[in-house]
Structure 1
Amino acid sequence: MSEWVCGCCGRWRVSVELIRGRHVYRLVHRYPRRFGGGDNVLGEVATVAELAALLRRWSPVDLADLHEAA
């Protein structure tokens, strides 16, 4: 599984998983520890175009703002 994070704050993450021969992109927003931490899954999509639409709808970041997590 690979994961991409935003460069601004690191709280917006996109994971890419291969499930039954298909890629699934999952958008997650991570809460800071001072607010209890945890992950909020905002959606799962099957294509990059759908991922871009999901990012536009739920987050202030775009595909260009994401980079591979170390």
Structure 2
Amino acid sequence: MSEWICACCGRYRVSVELIRGRYRYRLAHRYPREFGGGKNVLGEVGSVGELEDLLRRHTTLTLADLREAA
């Protein structure tokens, strides 16, 4: 599974998963440990164009703000 995180704070993550033969991009927001941890899935889309729209709707990030997770 590939995953990208935002370069500014690392709280937003985009993962790529193969579900029923199709790749899906999932945007999730991770909460800091001092607030209980966990994650909130903000959306799941099937193309990069839709991912850009999803990022624009829920965050101030663009695709250029994401970096590959180590």
1:15 is matched with which residue?
Answer: 15
1:63 is matched with which residue?
Answer: 63
What is the Cα deviation at residue 61 of structure 1? Answer: 1.0
Where does the alignment leave 5 or more consecutive residues of structure 1 unmatched? none
Cα deviation digits, residues 42-64 of structure 1 (max 9, x gap): 00000000000000000121100
How many pairs does the alignment contain?
Answer: 70
The runs of at least 4 consecutive aligned structure 1 residues that moved more than 2 Å come to: none
Counterpart code for 1:24: R
What is the Cα deviation at residue 20 of structure 1? Answer: 2.0
TM-score normalised by L of structure 1: 0.96
Q: How does 1:1-70 map to 2 (within 5 A)?
A: 1-70=1-70
CA RMSD of aligned residues (A): 0.6
Identity of aligned residues (%): 73
The 3-state SS of whatever aligns with 2:40 is: strand
